[in-house]
Amino acid sequence: VQDTKKLQRLTATLTYQPTELANGAQELLDEVAASKITGEEERYSHIDLLDVDFNVEGAQQAFAQLQPALTRIDPVLTKTIAARFDALDKAVDAHRNGEDISGFVRYTTLSADDKRALAAAVKAVQEPLSRVAQKVASQS
């Protein structure tokens, strides 16, 4: 508990550069696209969807930090990314299952079409998100 509090105190004052946030969001999604969609990370427990959910949430939080500034720089791009994050959320939420301890169905039950839809939803965010770092860097 002590450590957690210490960690909270430290992170509260941490500030990230806008480009770090943008790249961090992209890296979290890259992880999803590159290894989690293939089901190779949780080879034994098959709770990959929980990992996916964490990564997506993390990426979304990083993006949320940038959103106010980015909206001023490029409102259309910001809206596109936000809408695609919403679509990705929906694609992940479709596999929620309250009865499983992970909160999601086991990854092994997903069909090839399910996995392709998830991968496409991730890519749909990544493509416009990849243009954010340059935008925020040029303004800071």
Partner 1 sequence: VSDTSRRRFLGSALGTLGLAAAGGTGYAVAASTERTDAGRPAAQVPFYGAHQAGIATPAQDRLAFAAFTVTTQDVTELQQMLGLWAAAAAQMTKGLPVGAVETAPLVPPIDTGEAYGLPASSLTITVGFGPSLFDDRFGLKGKRPAALAELPAFPGDTLAAERSGGDIGVQACADDPQVAFHAIRNFARLARGTAVLKWTQLGFGRTSSTSTAQATPRNLMGFKDGTRNVKAEDASDMDRWVWADGSDQTWMKGGSFLVARRIRMLVESWDTASLADQEQTFGRVKDTGAPMGKHGEFDRPNFEAMPANAHVRLAAPTANGGAKLLRRGYSYTDGIDPDTGLLDAGLFFLAYQRDPREQFVPIQQRLGAHDALNEYIRHTGSAVFAVPPGLSGPGDWWGKTLFA
- The CA-atom distances, in angstroms, between 76 and each of 24, 79, 93 are 22, 5, 26
The contact pattern for partner 1, residues 55-94, with x = CB under 8 A and - = no contact, is -------------------xxxxxxx---x----------
Residues 95-124 that bind partner 1 (CB under 8 A): 116, 120, 123-124
Kindly give, in sequence order, each residue whose CB lies less than 8 Å from that of residue 68, ignoring residues fewer than 6 positions away: none
Both tokens assigned to 46: 């098959």
Q: How far is the CB of 25 from partner 1 (least distance, A)?
A: 14
Q: How far is the CB of 101 from partner 1 (least distance, A)?
A: 32
Smallest Cα–Cα separation from 56: which of 5, 7, 104, 19? 104
Q: Are 71 and 78 in contact (CB under 8 A)?
A: yes
Q: Does 131 bind partner 1 (CB under 8 A)?
A: yes
Q: State the residues that interact with partner 1 by CB under 8 A.
A: 19, 74-80, 84, 116, 120, 123-128, 130-131, 133-134, 137-138
